[in-house]
Amino acid sequence: MKWKNCDFLWKCFGDPAEEYVNECEETNGGCEALCCNTIGSFYCRCPPGLKLNEDGKTCQGEYSVVWL
């Protein structure tokens, strides 16, 4: 989804002629789970019970299982 900033948003988001790109639209932004689009960027999130790995894109279990 691409859109042009409206004049009243120009003060907040810059030049009205700039195109806004939804980075999550293609390949889910590279996120394994949830891609959250923001103005000029994006970030990845994981569903409950999982946490985001250091790579910022993949998820892993929050708790380690130790077999005795």
Q: Tell me, what DSSP letter sits at residue 8?
A: G
Q: Which domains does the chain have, with CATH numbers?
A: 2-61 (2.10.25.10)
The structure's pTM equals 0.62
C-alpha 12 chain-centroid distance: 20
What size, in residues, is the chain? 68
Give the Cα separation of 57 and 33 in Å (integer): 8
28-52 tens-digit pLDDT: 999 999 999 998 899 999 999 899 9
Phi, psi values for residue 16, rounded to 5°: -60, -20
